[in-house]
A = this chain, B = another copy of it.
Amino acid sequence: REAREVLFFPAGITCVERLLAAAEREAEGVEGVGLFPPRCSCPLPHEDEGPFGRLLGRLLGARPSLQLCLFAFSSPQLCRAVLVLHRRGVRIRVVTDADYMALRGSQIGILRRAGIQVRHDQDSGYMHHKFAIIDKRLLLTGSLNWTTQAIQQNRENVLILEDAEYVKLFLKEFEKIWENYNPA
């Protein structure tokens, strides 16, 4: 059955350390990781089934490819997840908004320095999309910017669609923007 899901935020503050640490250990090739999931002793709830845990889980499942088309990307945890994918050899491309990218807290510089391909807009309007395409198979799209405020405090939605027709339309939009923002 195809994935059909909507994530509604705010998520409440939960700790996703275990989820991220497990993925990081797996990317490093640590053995037996499935048997001994990393622990975290912080006082926050450890809910992998909340909307943020589910978003991270979907993202961490990416292989072989990920396209991100995001107005704002400042969540350190989502950045860690993308870095894990990059280490794992997932082919990643990122399109973002030049104005937001310049703000303090943006994680775009970190992604670039890690060697991930990033392009930004040259337009007067905003590059206001907030979508991700995982493995050219799964579309994540909605109102949610990838910021801690959006995840923890705002009313937001993310649709998850495993639908060839919608994926194709968004992939075409991504490729169009990717070419438009070619600095060469």
How many Å from the CB of A161 to the closest CB on chain B?
8
Docked complex Cα distance between A157 and B159 (Å): 13
Task: List the B side residues contacting A130 at CB < 8 Å.
Answer: 143
Stretch at the interface among A22-30, A86-94, A105-113, A162-170: A162-170
How many Å from the CB of A168 to the closest CB on chain B?
10
Which of B126, B141, B153 is in CB contact (< 8 Å) with A159?
A: B141
Asked if A73 lies at the interface with its beta carbon under 8 angstroms from chain B, I say: no
Task: List the B side residues contacting A165 at CB < 8 Å.
Answer: 4
Shortest Cβ distance from A144 into B: residue: B128
Which residues of A (109-135) have their CB < 8 Å from a CB of B? 121, 123-131
- The count of identical subunits is 2
Which of B10, B71, B125 is in CB contact (< 8 Å) with A153?
A: B125
Known pairs A71-B143, A141-B142; A149 contacts B125 (CB<8 A) = yes
Which of B4, B6, B129, B154 is in CB contact (< 8 Å) with A156?
A: B129
Docked complex Cα distance between A128 and B125 (Å): 19
Asked if A150 lies at the interface with its beta carbon under 8 angstroms from chain B, I say: yes
| CB 8 Å contact bits of A136-154 with B (1 = contact, 0 = none) | 0000011110000110111
Known pairs A143-B71, A143-B143, A159-B141; A154 contacts B127 (CB<8 A) = yes
Which of B150, B166, B170 is in CB contact (< 8 Å) with A128?
A: B150
Task: List the B side residues contacting A39 at CB < 8 Å.
Answer: none
Query: Interface on A for B, CB 8 Å cutoff?
Result: 4, 6, 8, 10, 71, 121, 123-131, 141-144, 149-150, 152-157, 159, 165-166, 169-170, 173, 177
> Considering the complex of A and B, which 7 residue pairs feature the smallest CB-CB distances, nearest first?
A125-B153, A125-B154, A128-B154, A126-B154, A127-B155, A6-B169, A128-B143
